[in-house]
Structure 1
Amino acid sequence: MNFILLLIIGIEIAFWVVIAAGLIARYVFQLPRLGLFLLALTPVLDLILLIAASADLLRGAAATTAHAIAAIYIAVSIVFGKHMIRWADERFRYYIMRQGSKPSRLYGYAYSRKYFKDWLKHVLAYVLGTGLLWVVIFLVNDAGRTGALSGTIKLWSLVVMIDLVISITYFIWPREAKHREKIHE
C-alpha cells in the first residue's frame, strides 16, 4: 500500500483520537488547558501530512490519487476543522457528559441556508485544495508524473457542482422532520 495513503489513514485516525483525548481531558478530567492543547494539535497533523506528501513528490515519486487526497484532506481540515471539533464537542458534552442541551437538528429553510453555507465552505476547501494541487503540478512540471492530480481536480470540480445542485434542491424541497422527530419535539 502507498506510504502517503497509509499516512492519510493514520492522520485521520490520529485526528479523531486527539479530539477525543482533548474532550476527555476537558470534561472528564476537568483539565481545560490540556484539552485545548490537544485540540490545537489537529493542525500539526495536517502539517505533517503536507510535509510528507511534498517530500515524496520532490524526491521524484509519481503523484498518485493518495497525494491528491492529501491535498483534499488538508484543505477540508483547514476549512471544516473548527466546525468538526465544535460538532464533536457538543455531542460529547450532551451524550457522554449529560450536560447542556441536546444538539438541535435543522429543518426547512434553516437547513437549506446551513447547507448552502456549508457548500460555500466546500467551495473554499476546493479553492485551497486545488490551489495546492496546481502548485504541485507547477513545481513537478511533468504531466506524466502529475496526471492523478489533474484528474482529481476534474473529479472534485464535478463533485462541487453536484453539491451545488443538492444545495439548490433543499431550497425547492426543504428538509422536513421525520414523523418520529416531530412527535418528540
Structure 2
Amino acid sequence: MIVTLIVICEVGFWLLLAAGLALRYLARMPRAGVAVLLCEPLLEVVLLVVTAVDLRNGAAPDWKHGLAAVYIGFTVTHGHYMIKWADGHVLHRFAGGPRPAGPPRYGMARAVHEWKMCARAVGAAAIAAALLQLAVWYVGDPGQSASLREWQGKMGFVVGISVIIALSYTIWPKTPKHGDHSGEGQSQAGAGTGTKAL
C-alpha cells in the first residue's frame, strides 16, 4: 500500500502542477492556479499520515516505510525547484515570457549552482533521516527498526556524494572547450538569471 501511495503522490504532483500552470497561463486564472499549486504539500502530508498509521497498526517497519521518508524529504526540498522550472518553461511557451536560462555550465557560476543543488540534497537527506529516526523511536524495537537504520545510512551516502560533486566543480572548475563561445555565454546568462530563480 505504501509503495502504491508513493506512486500516486508522484503522479499527483505532476497532475497538480499541470493543472495549476494550465489555470495560470491558459485559462488566465492566476489565483486559481496558485491555489492548486499550494495543494502540492498535502500529498506529502497524506503520505506521512498513512505511513504513521500503518506503523501504529502493527506493520513491521521495512524498506517501504524508509522509502516513504526519503520521498517526503526530497519532495520538500526539490518540489519548489521543479515548480519554478516548469513555470518558467510554460510562461515562455504559452505566455510570451523570456526563454528560461539553463544552469550555468562553466566556472564559479557552475560551482555555485552545484553547491545549491548539494544544499537541497543535504536538506532532503536530513529531513528523511529525521523522519526515519522518529519512526525508530516510535517502533521502539531495535531488531525491527534495522531497515530504517539502513535508510539513514543511505542518506549519509547521498550527502557524501553530493558534497564530492560540488567540491569537484569548485576545485576543478569546468571550462569551455576551445572555440565554444556559446557555452560561455550560456554560463554567464545562467549566472545572471538562472541562478536567481533557484
Q: What TM-score, normalized to structure 1?
A: 0.90
| 1:82 corresponds to 2:80 | yes
Q: CA deviation at 1:184?
A: 8.5
What does residue 189 of structure 2 align with? Answer: none
C-alpha distance in structure 2 between counterparts of 1:183 and 1:145, whole Å: 53
RMSD: 1.9
Aligned residues of 2:25 and 2:95 also touching (Cα < 8 A): no
Q: CA deviation at 1:180?
A: 8.8
Change (3 A) 1:166 1:12: same
C-alpha distance in structure 2 between counterparts of 1:125 and 1:183, whole Å: 31
Alignment-mate amino acid for residue 164 of structure 2: V
Aligned residues of 1:64 and 1:148 also touching (Cα < 8 A): yes
Alignment-mate amino acid for residue 12 of structure 1: E
Q: CA deviation at 1:18?
A: 0.2
| 1:100 corresponds to 2:97 | yes
* SS of 1:113 mapped into structure 2: helix
C-alpha distance in structure 1 between counterparts of 2:183 and 2:111, whole Å: 18
What does residue 53 of structure 2 align with? Answer: 55
Instruction: Determine what percentage of the aligned residue pairs are the same residue.
Output: 32
* SS of 1:164 mapped into structure 2: helix
C-alpha distance in structure 2 between counterparts of 1:111 and 1:136, whole Å: 37
| 1:182 corresponds to 2:183 | yes
Change (3 A) 1:28 1:163: same
C-alpha distance in structure 1 between counterparts of 2:185 and 2:121, whole Å: 32
Alignment length, in residue pairs?
182
The C-alpha deviation readout for 1:68-99, integer Å capped at 9, x for no partner, is 111111122222222221111011212x3152
C-alpha distance in structure 2 between counterparts of 1:120 and 1:182, whole Å: 25
Change (3 A) 1:177 1:5: farther
Alignment-mate amino acid for residue 78 of structure 2: F
C-alpha distance in structure 2 between counterparts of 1:71 and 1:61, whole Å: 16
Change (3 A) 1:26 1:163: same
Q: For structure 2, list consecutive stretches of 5 or more residues without a partner in the other structure.
A: 187-198
Q: What TM-score, normalized to structure 2?
A: 0.85
Alignment-mate amino acid for residue 120 of structure 1: A
| 1:112 corresponds to 2:117 | no
Alignment-mate amino acid for residue 112 of structure 2: R
| 1:158 corresponds to 2:157 | yes
C-alpha distance in structure 2 between counterparts of 1:61 and 1:11, whole Å: 21
18-27 vs 174-183, which moves further: 174-183
C-alpha distance in structure 1 between counterparts of 2:176 and 2:98, whole Å: 19
Q: CA deviation at 1:128?
A: 1.5
Change (3 A) 1:176 1:60: farther
C-alpha distance in structure 2 between counterparts of 1:42 and 1:177, whole Å: 39
Q: Tell me which stretches of 4 or more aligned residues in structure 1 moved more than 2 Å.
A: 172-185
Q: Which residues in structure 2 correspond to 1:121-136 (within 5 Å)?
A: 121-136=120-135
